Amino acid sequence: MSRHVVVTGASSGIGAACARAFHANGDRLSLGARRVERLAEVVPDAFCHQLDVTDAGSVERFVAAAVAANGPIDVLVNNAGLARDVEKIAEGTGEAWREMIETNVLGLLEVTRRVLPQMIARKTGHVVVIGSIAGHKAYVGGGVYCGSKRALQPICEAIRMETLGSNIRVTSVDPGMVDTEFSLVRFRGDAERAAKVYTGTRPLTAEDVAECVAFAANRPAHVNLDTIVVMPTDQANPQMVHRQ
Ligand SMILES: NC(=O)c1ccc[n+]([C@@H]2O[C@H](COP(=O)([O-])OP(=O)(O)OC[C@H]3O[C@@H](n4cnc5c(N)ncnc54)[C@H](OP(=O)(O)O)[C@@H]3O)[C@@H](O)[C@H]2O)c1
């Protein structure tokens, strides 16, 4: 039976690939991002709505509109997120830190807290979180991004405990390097610097990650994949990458 799948940050990269994977599976989609015009190009017939996860009012409107369009939510893919700058803590100004924490942590919580009660009431649902290997291992200049992704681990653990008995699954999909607009965003549009991140190595594609998300979501209801850590073969940890 077709499920209602909500994907945040579906205008690009991993979120767009997740949308395409669930669409191929025959699911009904509600897609959100700030660049709403790009959402319409991701999957034909998906319900698309403006969403800024850092704005509580926008999240409220997005979730209400998604439910009105497609009914109760079966799967929530919390994907919207970003890294901004590479900045040692002693050199930080706070602006990028706030943006990352407001998006990656508080934004995810704002969406999740509006979706979980309906899942608990219906005794069914799957919350997927796109974490990162940055949440498992810190790197120089990435302390706050890593912290924002590490924060998702206890959040997922707490949701599992708090919803136990309600038939709700919680999966964290934690990728290594993926070739998306991630680095372009991190380096504020500096395409040359962004391209260097992937030079001489073979990163994951957004589709590689979306396959992991879809695999977790397509397990039988009694099977919960807790955490999937997926990295390129050419990567050992956030700072060790094999380059030709
Ligand atoms: N690429 C990697 O190497 C990598 C590795 C591990 C984890 N991740 C994680 O994967 C997730 C997706 O990133 P990506 O690699 O696919 O990068 P991307 O191509 O830049 O996509 C990021 C998506 O997040 C959305 N987004 C950002 N801020 C938002 C906000 N305030 N409200 C709503 N949507 C917002 C963007 O849409 P709009 O700009 O249109 O709003 C965009 O659709 C992120 O959580 C990232 O941390 C990425």
Residue 73 structural domain: 4-241
> Is residue 238 lining ligand 1, measured as CB closer than 6 Å?
no
Q: Which residues contact 236 (CB under 8 A, 6 or more apart)?
A: 242
Residue nearest to atom 23 of ligand 1 (CA): 9
Active site positions, annotated? 145
* Residue 184 and residue 169 in contact, taking contact as beta carbons nearer than 8 Å: no
The pairing of strands 168-175 and 227-230 is: parallel
- Residue 54 Cβ contacting ligand 1 at under 6 Å: yes
Query: In this structure, which residue's CA is closest to atom 45 in ligand 1?
Result: 81
Asked whether 206 and 178 are in contact (CB, 8 A), the reply is yes
Say if pTM beats, i.e. exceeds, 0.95.
Answer: yes
Per-residue confidence in pLDDT tens, the chain, 244 aa: 799 999 999 999 999 999 999 999 999 999 999 999 999 999 999 999 999 999 999 999 999 999 999 999 999 999 999 999 999 999 999 999 999 999 999 999 999 999 999 999 999 999 999 999 999 999 999 999 999 999 999 999 999 999 999 999 999 999 999 999 999 999 999 999 999 999 999 999 999 999 999 999 999 999 999 999 999 999 999 999 999 9
Q: What does the pLDDT read at residue 1? A: 77
* CA–CA distances in Å: residue 229 to residues 4, 61, 117, 179, 224: 25, 32, 28, 16, 15
Among 102, 178, 184, residue to substitute to test ligand 1 (most atoms within 8 Å of Cβ): 178
The span from the CA of 63 to the CA of 93, in Å, is 33
DSSP state of 178: B
CATH number for the domain that contains residue 205: 3.40.50.720
- Nearest ligand 1 atom, CA 83: 47
Q: Look at the chain and report how many structural domains it folds into.
A: 1
Q: What is the pLDDT of residue 209?
A: 99
E runs forming strands in 91-156? 125-130
